Amino acid sequence: MNAIDQTLARVFGYADFRPGQRPVIEAVVDGRSAAAIFPTGSGKSLCYQLSALHLPHLTLVVSPLLALMQDQLAFLKRHGIAAASLDSSQSKDEARAVMDGVARGEIRILMVSVERLKNERFRAFIRRVPISLLVVDEAHCISEWGHNFRPDYLTLPTTRHELGIPQTLLLTATATPRVIEDMRRHFAIAAEDVIATGFYRPNLDLQVAPVPADERPRRLVDWLRPRLEGPSPGATVVYVTLQQTAERLAAYLGAAGLPAAAYHAGLDAETRASRQDDFMAGRTPVIVATIAFGMGIDKSDIRGVVHFDLPKSVENYSQEIGRAGRDGAPAECLMLAGRDHLSVLENFTYGDTPERAAIARVTATLPAPGEDWAFTLNTLSRDSDIRPLPLKTLLVRLELEGTIRPRFSYFAEYRFRLEEPAETLVARFQGERRAFVEAILEASPRARTWHRLDLEALGRLGAERGLDTSRQRVITALDYFADKGLITLESKQMTEVFEVLRPVDDALVEALHRAFVDKERAEIERLHAMLALFEGEGCLTRRLADWFGDAAAPAHCGHCSGCRGQVASLPLPPEPAPLASMDATTLIAPLRERLASGGEAEAATPTLLARFLCGLTSPRLTRHKARQLDGFAALEAYPFGEVRDWLSR
């Protein structure tokens, strides 16, 4: 028995590896980067958890969601592995204890969000820590062709280089061949070290049985009742698109005598946690949820997953049904949805495409080439009327075009409260270090209790007195004081700093806008590809495997509606009244008046007005509290493009 087999048995209590785990772990332990493309619930996490115990230094895990971190940390704790996370829910003392454990080498695995890597104080800390392995969980987020593109993930290859991390391990459950190639290229992973185990799940029965929207609640009750009232009722997740649908449907099921709870991002954290705990413990057999539920949920005995509304993509569908039957026992996955929510899903996509004028507003703020461009994302989002996620994408595109280059991020404001008299703090140091501390205090005027650091004033004092008052040294010193309990330190307003490499002309603005429009078109095509998947003939399991490039799945699984000869036809929603019969002037008058009263009458473009009528938000609409106005979402059942074209006439 070799070393990794011994660790598998001794630490984790397993006799054998699952498919794919051994070659991934062997690659990492041998010093190579690798990628694990395994179905949901197939043991991707063990690939880094076991490997970390055979590496000399820290394993740094980047994960997109707190729920994923907490679930994996609980597993590691149960197996006696020293692991921790740094996240926004922690107190300063808790975060400091984690960082102390990492610095001493006592913590083997540290989990953080990708945003944490942009934190100036964290980067100053982690640069001093030797790291053996960077793990990227949900690694498909790095590809703009993936179903959950996160622009910040594109910075990870640069971060790996800056921190001198020798290896990377990429983990994902849902990646098409194009996305896998994109991931591999970003991290220079050899093709033979990309291990994909296939997407076929022999225990899942896939059913596409769509019904019209008004009949769907009753059909769901008829499907659930025998499964909940039998001798061994099974847990079921019902996925919906909108928060209000989750609330209404959970209430409907409850009135029918089927205990159910709603779960969505609009609930407070305590309620979400309580409802999740009740579902996990079996006290609530049915959870009606938006996609806010599921990531990182490690419940092995879910017997049913129902799509009451259309999923967002084939990848989302695969990920969501993958939460059923993780224990290997039979589970059912039912698709009830028709096309009635197609416009809602399409409109979500349209809402993230910035107007050409909005892109020009961003590029107009760039200084001359050679100068630094500093901004806070929220302010730039507000001023340009581009939502934060597409704005991050725009910044990445400007970087890829060679227009800007990221330099660093920092908190615009630092303030501290002394926990001992200033004289006592200064007296702890001698010589140049004492003069340095005196300069910090002198450049930090006090208002009542808190001192606010003025870095410009400190820079002038440093120049006058021959002191090194560089930003990195100052932040390191403040962190040291905070670690020792000498001060309480607070920071806020993350500022991004880019170097401008070349000017932006109209042609580039047009190209950037075209890239967003092309991405929008690709997302719409993905939605229609999903419809084609559900309405196609033959084995549904085989067609799903083909989407992910899995040639190993059987041609006919025998446990899907396709194999049973049930070819689906997704019902269309009732035909809405023609737009031409409506009074556009009346519908948009409340927003026009609100914009005019705020001195922004010129902002009432057809695109902004269409967003308002289709129930989509933007920073400008949020600022003007458009949700409270008559007319908001009045045309949410109509395709955004049609509404925009109608208003343009």
Contacts of 303 (CB under 8 A, 6+ apart): 227, 234, 235, 236, 324, 325, 329, 330, 331, 332
Residues 127-173 have pLDDT tens digits of 999 999 999 998 988 887 766 778 888 889 988 998 999 999 999 98
Q: Are residues 288 and 185 in the same domain?
A: no
Q: Are residues 192 and 235 in the same domain?
A: no
CA dist., res. 162 & res. 159, Å (int): 5
Q: What are phi and psi of 645, to 5 degrees?
A: -65, -40
Label residue 412 by pLDDT band (50, 70, 90). Answer: confident
Average pLDDT estimate for 465-492: 88
- What is the reported pLDDT for 586? 95
Residue 308 near residue 507, CB atoms below 8 Å:
no
Residue 364 lies inside a defined structural domain of this protein: no
Contacts of 374 (CB under 8 A, 6+ apart): 495, 496, 497, 498
- Strand pairing report for 450-452 and 404-418: antiparallel
Residue closest to 107 by CA, chosen among 132, 125, 81, 133: 81
Poorest-confidence range of 45-49, 51-55, 146-150, 401-405? 146-150
CA dist., res. 68 & res. 136, Å (int): 12
CA dist., res. 282 & res. 260, Å (int): 11
Of 163, 196, 229, the position where a domain reaches its end is: 196
Half-sphere exposure of 249 (CA within 13 A, CB side): 32
The answer on pLDDT for 452 being more than 60 is: yes
Which residues sit opposite 196 in a β-bridge? 37
Q: Are residues 22 and 84 in the same domain?
A: yes
CA dist., res. 342 & res. 347, Å (int): 8
Take residue 322 and report the two structure tokens written for it: 């993958």
Average pLDDT estimate for 461-468: 94
Label residue 300 by pLDDT band (50, 70, 90). Answer: confident
The answer on pLDDT for 480 being more than 90 is: no
3-state secondary structure of 47: helix
Provide the domain count of the chain. 3
Q: Are residues 148 and 217 in the same domain?
A: no
Average pLDDT estimate for 563-572: 90
- What is the reported pLDDT for 198? 83
Average pLDDT estimate for 263-276: 87
Q: Are residues 78 and 94 in the same domain?
A: yes
Q: Are residues 243 and 177 in the same domain?
A: no
- What is the reported pLDDT for 471? 85
648 vs 39, higher pLDDT: 648
The total of other beta-carbon atoms located within 10 Å of residue 141's CB is 24
The answer on pLDDT for 121 being more than 80 is: no
Take residue 390 and report the two structure tokens written for it: 């597409």
- Under DSSP, the state recorded for 241 is S
CA dist., res. 190 & res. 206, Å (int): 35
CA dist., res. 338 & res. 335, Å (int): 9
- What is the reported pLDDT for 407? 80
In which region does residue 599 sit, left (phi positive, over 0), alpha (psi from -120 to 50) or beta (all else)?
left
Residues 170-203 have pLDDT tens digits of 999 888 888 899 899 999 999 999 999 888 889 9
198 vs 534, higher pLDDT: 534
- What is the reported pLDDT for 294? 59
Take residue 197 and report the two structure tokens written for it: 């185990």
Residue 361 near residue 394, CB atoms below 8 Å:
no
Residue 314 lies inside a defined structural domain of this protein: yes
Label residue 293 by pLDDT band (50, 70, 90). Answer: low
Mean pLDDT, rounded, of the chain: 90
The answer on pLDDT for 298 being more than 80 is: no
CA dist., res. 109 & res. 196, Å (int): 24
- What is the reported pLDDT for 382? 92
Q: Are residues 117 and 191 in the same domain?
A: yes
Q: Are residues 179 and 221 in the same domain?
A: no
- What is the reported pLDDT for 66? 65
Report the share of the chain in percent with pLDDT over 70. Answer: 98
- What is the reported pLDDT for 268? 86
Average pLDDT estimate for 375-398: 91
- What is the reported pLDDT for 1? 61
CA dist., res. 496 & res. 167, Å (int): 27
Label residue 270 by pLDDT band (50, 70, 90). Answer: confident
Take residue 60 and report the two structure tokens written for it: 């740094």
Average pLDDT estimate for 251-267: 93
- What is the reported pLDDT for 355? 94
The answer on pLDDT for 59 being more than 80 is: yes
Residues 342-352 have pLDDT tens digits of 888 888 888 88
Average pLDDT estimate for 80-93: 84
CA dist., res. 99 & res. 94, Å (int): 9
Residue 164 near residue 90, CB atoms below 8 Å:
no
Half-sphere exposure of 577 (CA within 13 A, CB side): 7
Poorest-confidence range of 62-76, 226-240, 410-424, 479-493? 62-76
Residue 325 lies inside a defined structural domain of this protein: yes
Determine the structural domain holding residue 164 and report its residue range: 3-196
Q: What is the crossing angle of helices 356-363 and 388-400, to 10°?
A: 60
- What is the reported pLDDT for 14? 92
Residue 40 lies inside a defined structural domain of this protein: yes
Take residue 298 and report the two structure tokens written for it: 């490690």
CATH of the domain at 99: 3.40.50.300
304 burial type by CB count under 10 A (0-12 exposed, 13-18 middle, 19+ buried): buried
Q: Are residues 160 and 280 in the same domain?
A: no
Residue 111 near residue 73, CB atoms below 8 Å:
yes
CA dist., res. 40 & res. 204, Å (int): 13
Residue 511 lies inside a defined structural domain of this protein: no
Q: Are residues 218 and 319 in the same domain?
A: yes
Average pLDDT estimate for 597-609: 93
- What is the reported pLDDT for 484? 84
The total of other beta-carbon atoms located within 10 Å of residue 280's CB is 14
CA dist., res. 243 & res. 602, Å (int): 33
The total of other beta-carbon atoms located within 10 Å of residue 44's CB is 27
